[in-house]
Structure 1
Amino acid sequence: MQEYIAKDSISKEILNSAKLLQAVEVNALILGENGVGKKSLAKYILPRSEIYEAKNLQKDIADEVLILQNEAIIVDKINEITNIDLFLKWIDENSIRVIAISQTENLNQKIKDIFSINLEIPNLSKREEDTKALINKFSQEASSILDMPLIPQSKLIINISNNTHSLRKSIYFSYLFETIGEHEILMFLEKYISENLSGDNSYKDLSYIFEVPLLKASTKKYKSQVQVAKHLGLNRITLRKKLEIYKDLL
């Protein structure tokens, strides 16, 4: 599991709170969307503790197969606990400290009440310095694993739509793209199209696979619609129609 990156001021504040939680034995709730670093932060607080999926933990408690006392545990997806009274009774009777993780604040009030501290981790879109550090980390990781020289950052594909999950994937794709030529691209397209050919209007239905990346690349490179239309050999009316058709994908 990767370390919790804290280069932005908000992340440093969160890390300072996490350091406090290393010394103070209270229950804490870590909130945030997928890939923001919730598990990494939880493991920073409790480096020697197990991570339990909430549903599995609840089942083990109900089946009385879990023997823990005076322990600290990490509970992932705490919002998926359904037998709340059973869970609360178990942690109380066995003196269990809980560092919990959730994507949602919409928790049962009984669950909320056990936490003395809530830490909410923002998305990478709000953590510019953290993102830069993660880009560098994942780039070095990809270079080492794939046994390739480091790629300049200007050539990296950066996708933080799903935070670190999409960022790591996009950087690995960047390295793989360095080894892919026109033949491989056409081969991938052929495979995708072959698997998705259906109905009587496949040409129209699948033309976006070519047109969307062409429009995205052109608008990034040429900026103005006049220049885009000129270099694509389209009139501006046709270009505007295509931009409107694909606006959700651009």
Structure 2
Amino acid sequence: MKSANLLKSLQFNTLISGECGTGRHTLAAYMMPDIPVVHADDPELYSYIENSSQIIIDRLEKAESFGRLSQSIKKRGTKVVAIAEDISALGSFESLFSVKIVLPPLQQRPEDVPMLAKKFAEEAKRMFAGDENGEVFKPDLQNVDLSRNAFSLRQSVYLQYFAARMGREELMLLNETYLSSRMNEGEDIYRRELFLYEVPLIRAGMRAFKSQLKMSHAFGLNRNTLRKKITEWKEYL
């Protein structure tokens, strides 16, 4: 962020690369607030360059002609912050950018996950409860999906938010909606889909009771039956 603050005041072209959801657009907007974002394959791109002193170019690798784009930027002297996912296609065009920032995936930036999760939690409360400060909701960071960076993290936080507020009726409706789409998948449907009930129950029991003996008493099952269920669904536990 210190580098971003410094670059705001300098006439350097900056290339920001990384996977989708790593914060490329957020960083570009921070460096150039209130500056239009134009896709590299937009037919109006050269008009924007001609009439703007600053511009954010998204999807840089989609540009039709890097040579023409480079000439246009140099001729006008437009300050550019460009966003790309695949920089291998840029070739010598990369040399147009004095500063290159590579944003690693969130899986390599665990220190950023709590801050983003908190942001998405507040977003969920504001969007669905209408009150950002009226309730306590703390996401479980041990059970979030970072496979698509901020996109999957937001989805995980939203899902946790809804799950924590679901009653029996909402949960049954959710299951019914899912199961309705499975009714044409041949025979043995009951047996095949039974894990939707048993796996969450066993998971919750493991967290709550910490031992199979206590679980068996609470569930009203003998230990052998419980052990068989745990073995049967071990791939989900």
Shift of 1:203: 4.1
- Closer/same/farther in 2, CA of residues 98 and 154 from structure 1, 3 Å limit: closer
Aligned residues with identical type, % of pairs = 27
Letter aligned with residue 156 of structure 2: S
For 2:121, the equivalent position in structure 1 comes to 139
Distance in 1 between the 2:71 and 2:103 partners?
Answer: 29
Candidates 90, 95, 98, aligned match of 2:80 = 98
Q: Counterparts of 1:203-214 in structure 2 under 5 Å?
A: 203=190, 206-210=193-197, 212-214=199-201
Name stretches of at least 5 consecutive residues in structure 2 with no aligned partner: none
- Residues 191 and 29 (structure 1 numbering): CA distance in 2 closer, same or farther, change over 3 Å? same
Query: Residue 54 of structure 1: CA displacement?
Result: 2.4
TM-aligned CA distance change 1:227 to 1:105, over 3 Å: farther
Shift of 1:41: 0.7
Q: Deviations over 1:81-133 (max 9, x none)?
A: 24323322332333232211123342321332222111122333333443222
Across the aligned residues of Structure 1 and Structure 2, the Cα RMSD in angstroms comes to 3.3
Is residue 239 of structure 1 aligned with residue 230 of structure 2?
yes
Correspondent of 1:153 among 132, 138, 155: 138
Matched to 2:7, the amino acid is L
Aligned partner of residue 31 in structure 1, secondary structure: strand
Contact 1:158 1:167 in 2 (8 A): no
Tell me the alpha carbon deviations over residues 48-84 of structure 1, each in whole angstroms, 9 at most, x when there is no partner. 311112222xx324xx654624522111221222432
TM-score normalised over the length of structure 2 = 0.76
Distance 1:47 1:181 in 2: 43
CA distance 1:199–1:137, shift in 2 (3 Å)? closer
Native 8 Å contact 2:139 2:160 kept in 1: no
- Out of 36, 44, 55, the residue aligned to residue 60 of structure 1 is 44
| Unmatched tracts of structure 1, length 5 or more | 1-14
Rg (Cα) greater in structure: 2
**What is the CA–CA distance in structure 1 between the aligned matches of 2:71 and 2:93, rounded to whole Å?**
12
The answer as to 2:154 corresponding to 1:171 is: no
Aligned length in residues: 227
- Secondary structure of the corresponding residue to residue 4 of structure 2: helix
Instruction: Work out whether 1:113 is the aligned partner of 2:107.
Output: no
